[in-house]
Each structure stands twice: as C-alpha cells, then as structure tokens.
Amino acid sequence: AQKITQTQPGMFVQEKEAVTLDCTYDTSDQSYGLFWYKQPSSGEMIFLIYQGSYDEQNATEGRYSLNFQKARKSANLVISASQLGDSAMYFCAMSSSTGANNLFFGTGTRLTVIP
C-alpha cells in the first residue's frame, strides 16, 4: 500500500523568499511517480510538478523544484521567490506501477505568503 505524509499543516513565508514543503512517502513498489498539486481558495486542483522514481535529476518547473531523496523516501517541493498568488493548499501525491493511474494524496500543507 502507498502512503503519503505531509507533516506541516501550515507554513508561512515572506514574499520573495523561498519555502520548502515537506513530503515523505512509503511504498513497496520499485516504480512510482510523485506529484505536487496546488489548490487555491477557489478550489480547483492545479498540477505543478512530477518526479519519477527512476529519474536521476530533480524535476524543475519554473519557480517549482522537487527535492527528491529516494533513500529517505522524501519528495519535498521548493518554491523560490514566493509570490502572494502562491498562497494555497499544496498536496503531495503518488502513483505506482501497480495502481493504474490512481493517485494517493497527503493531507496537504496550507501555505500563506506574507507581503
């Protein structure tokens, strides 16, 4: 079974600063994928970034990067140069080779960017 743990219910960051949102996972599968989604107050789910378990390089997408440490089973999201529009809930999720395209989500972290 897959399990995603996000231990930070809430985080604050100053505008223009970088912030790291933590995510650890547990799986017995060798092949899996890790995702981060953003959910603003309007409620929609927005895909941010993906990392495959066999990818050697950490994924990056603009201001988002994923700090993937396979041995520690962690997949932290780093947001650089935070903007007010980054204030939202952030969810870490995982897919596995044994689970079709199903995603298993963590409980989320609410990020607040302070002007």
Distances (CA, A) of 58 to 49, 52, 68: 10, 9, 6
What minimum distance in Å lies between the beta carbon of 55 and other proteins? 9
d(CA 56, CA 109): 26
Choose one: 13-21, 48-56, 67-75, 78-86; the region binding other proteins (CB under 8 A): 48-56
**Of 48, 50, 26, 29, the residue nearest 39 (C-alpha):** 48
Asked if 100 touches other proteins (CB under 8 A), the answer is yes
Give the pair of three-digit tokens for residue 103: 């995603």
Asked if 105 touches other proteins (CB under 8 A), the answer is yes
What minimum distance in Å lies between the beta carbon of 103 and other proteins? 6
Number of residues lying near other proteins (CB under 8 A)? 27
